[in-house]
A and B are shown apart, each in its own frame.
Chain A
Amino acid sequence: MKYLIRFISRNPAGGVEYRDKVVDAPTITIGRATDQVLQLRDLRARLQHAVIEQKPDGVHVSSSALTGIIVNGRSQRASKLAVGDIIEVGANVIKVIDAPDGIDFAISFELSDDASTEHFVTRWSEPVSDVGGWSKRRLSWTLVAVVALLGFVLPIYTYDMFLQAGPIHSAHSTTAAECDLCHLNAFERVPDSACEACHTVDRHVVHSTAAVLGEIRCASCHLEHNEPEQLVNQHQGLCGDCHANTPPDAALDSAADFLDDHPEFNAAGQAEDSNLKFDHAAHLAEQGIVTPAGRRVIECNECHIQEPGGAGFETIRMDVHCSDCHTLSFDPDDTTRTVPHGDPETVVQSLIEYYSARLLGEDPDAVEQRVRRPGQRLSRADRDRAAAEARVEALAIAEDLFERRACTNCHTVTRVDGDVPWHVEPVELTTHFFSNAFFTHAAHQTEISACGDCHEARTSASATDVLVPGIENCRDCHGSGFARRNAPGQTPSTCVMCHSFHFESKGPRE
């Protein structure tokens, strides 16, 4: 289908100019878009505003735009066109004109002066620069003021806990409400004097180490306001940085990591010299041990009773823990008679008294059978002789007790000159094998641990055995201070888990 579009323009002098354009297309599209056959420069027109097309009954114009079109002065959606009809789109006027020969349909088009109208602007079409009268700038300054007041100025004068970077350690909770107890001067680090107001530190960090470490403050190691709360530096580097790779002639061996760079414990492999004889193996025999109450199995905790604090054990006492079996009886005729558990003089004295009483007839059951007239008392000579006999008897029994039967079972007994010719070496058990380390049994009593896991008492026949385990035993559970070096399940163990930092009072074990 061939269309003719006649463009009409008027020159300033008032003359009219025509420019014809022939279009061979099925339709004439009218709109603002660049692909339209008839492009309008009117903002009121849609990109595709209207279409002129041939239909069986003639040529029609139609529009899908909201503003629609005006045909012959009437707003319409679609209309059949005849010569002389006027179509208005916005300010554009399109006229249907006579088609010349060879042309199917012709229109003229005049771009109106009115086409580029000023946008009519109402208040509600303008951009909004505020929310309820609040511009972004005003909102910003208001929030800045609120944050400055509530977040900083107000806390300084009322609740300065709001300014702390983390919670105060529970050990310091009594001072928590007063920041300036420690933070003595603004914009200065907490000085040592703040700590020394409460803590005595003269035994801590001896001068020799201070010289090596240089300028350090209490708070270099003891940091507050952290989570998890931790006042003592637990880090491996605290000790390891200096104690790693010590020279061979140094007083202390290298100790950089418990996992694989820590010397064997001093106690391991040594002999205990306590003057006591004791056979753990015999006492802990699996089949039990013969007691006055019959054969029974003895458990560790019958003798080793934990202290209330849980760190160590109460002292083992002869009268409490041993005497049920180890009776100190001496008279086969009367096994309930025992000597006291004490020094040799007391033992001998008690024996002399016992036998004197018997020989001198004060004990009706133990009167020496001697013929006397009624009313006759023992002569002085008789009494002296009886006393001497009692003494001889007592010493004979005592020798048996001290050297063959009772005392020597457990104690080291030596012969000495004197009225009581025996000396029992005092028992000197080592109470702490780790003089420079902490160990608490309570922390190691778990569901999976038994005494025998660490202490090889069941095979120890001699009291000279040191039953404190070696370092390998600890390493079953305790690993490196660097968690990532450990196998799964191993407890990360830094130096300060067992050791404390350079306390002057703790020297090497003597």
Chain B
Amino acid sequence: MHESILAYRKRRYLWIALGVSLLAIVAYLFDDPQEPSNGGTVLGYTLGTTGVLLILWLTWFGVRKRRYSSTRGTVQGWLSAHVYLGVALLVVVVLHAGFQFGMNVHTVAFALMVLVIASGLWGVFIYMRYPERASANRDGSSRPELMDQLEDLDRRAQRVAGELSEEFQELVESGVSRTQLGSTLWTRLRGRDLSQIILRQGGKTTVMANPGQEAALDWLANEQSRAVDADSLAKIGELSALIRNKRQLLRQIAEDLRLQATMEIWLYFHVPLTAAMLMALIAHIVTVFLYW
């Protein structure tokens, strides 16, 4: 049975994270330093050290998840803890700062940390919903299987076209070789269909955009209306049906690419922002002691 990372081991890490947060809040409420609460009091240093250790441990997840041979906990458990303790970090750091924020490098470090946590929560949201949507969209097939089905349709279209004139063969060949969906994250996110096709019209050969196989289907519909014998009429009809099916399959694949890109894009924020936050954290710590 599939278990969500949020529900891992009866939400064990949710309770640990709540415990850490509550401990920090209670300590903050009962702390009565001889100065306004800030990172320089005894509790401030304690919470700051806790925060740094948490950040280092959270960052270590990027290493742990690649250590396939490691037996120190499961990756699922690590991810569950990563999510919950990542949110608890927000509480610890806000109390470390004693709610003091300003236009300075220290608040920059804090803001970057908030962005990292926010992008992480975005990732959690994506991973709670998108894998399900992706499998619903693929309807039981994997991506390579969808590609195989596409190839199957292409082969059959080529077989039918082989029994028709050269123009049909050119149409199908160029349609097959120039089928293209998004190849970058952005085009995939937008579900773009970049397919093209070579059409021969009135003795002129033109390369045309063929999103959703529309250009091919239009051309075939035109040819169908001009066909005279029943045999070619039936074959053109079969070819149209195959290409309509291909259109639908391409939409399915484009949606699959879009969903997968959505599942990937948040990491392009989460990881680089983490690196930036680590640099700002170093600047924060060095600055504090440089100007002790």
Contacts and interface: CB of A to CB of B under 8 A. Distances in A.
Interface string A393-417: 0000000000000000000000000
A136 B272 contact: yes
Contacts of B142: 43
A214 to B, nearest CB: 15
Nearest to A153: B283
B272 A140 contact: yes
B156 A227 contact: no
A64 B180 CA distance: 25
A234 to B, nearest CB: 8
A183 B141 contact: no
A482 interface: yes
A237 B180 contact: no
Contacts of A237: 32, 34
Contacts of A479: none
B108 A147 contact: yes
A505 to B, nearest CB: 25
Interface stretch (A17-25, A115-123, A316-324): A115-123
Interface string A43-54: 110111000000
B34 A165 contact: no
Nearest to A42: B148
Interface in B267-284: 267-268, 271-276, 278-280, 283
Contacts of B288: 165
A117 B32 CA distance: 72
Contacts of A340: none
Contact of B249 (A43, A66, A74, A130): A66
Interface in A305-334: none
B105 A162 contact: yes
Interface string B32-52: 111110111000000000000
Interface stretch (A5-13, A185-193, A199-207, A431-439): A185-193
Interface string A107-146: 0000000000101111111011011101010011111101
B100 A226 contact: yes
- The secondary structure that dominates the B interface is helix
Contact of A165 (B104, B143, B179, B183): B104
B74 interface: no
Contacts of A142: 272
A164 B104 contact: yes
Interface string B280-292: 1001001111111
B4 interface: no
Contacts of B203: none
A128 B156 contact: no
A143 B180 contact: no
Given A139-B272, A167-B102, A482-B32, A74 B238 contact: yes
* Most chain A beta-carbon contacts within 10 A, residue among B104, B144, B248: B104
Contacts of B69: none
Contacts, number: 187
Contacts of B267: 136
A165 B41 CA distance: 13
Nearest to A77: B241
B218 interface: no
B70 to A, nearest CB: 22
Nearest to A160: B291
* Most chain B beta-carbon contacts within 10 A, residue among A46, A165, A230: A165
Interface string A175-187: 0000100010011
B36 A155 contact: no
A189 B291 CA distance: 7
B20 interface: no
B139 interface: yes
A84 interface: no
A119 B140 contact: no
Contact of B143 (A46, A125, A166, A183): A125
Interface string B221-251: 0000000000000000010011001001100
A70 B156 contact: yes
B32 to A, nearest CB: 7
B184 interface: yes
28 contacts: A43-B145, A44-B145, A66-B252, A75-B156, A120-B151, A123-B180, A124-B194, A131-B184, A139-B268, A140-B272, A140-B275, A143-B275, A146-B276, A147-B279, A147-B280, A151-B105, A162-B104, A163-B287, A165-B100, A165-B287, A179-B291, A187-B289, A221-B34, A223-B40, A226-B100, A233-B34, A233-B35, A235-B32
7 A-B pairs closest in CB distance: A140-B275, A143-B276, A235-B34, A139-B272, A47-B140, A152-B283, A119-B144
Given A66-B252, A128-B185, 18 more contacts: A44-B145, A65-B149, A75-B238, A125-B253, A127-B264, A128-B183, A130-B185, A134-B268, A143-B273, A143-B275, A144-B276, A144-B278, A166-B38, A167-B102, A188-B292, A189-B292, A230-B35, A233-B35
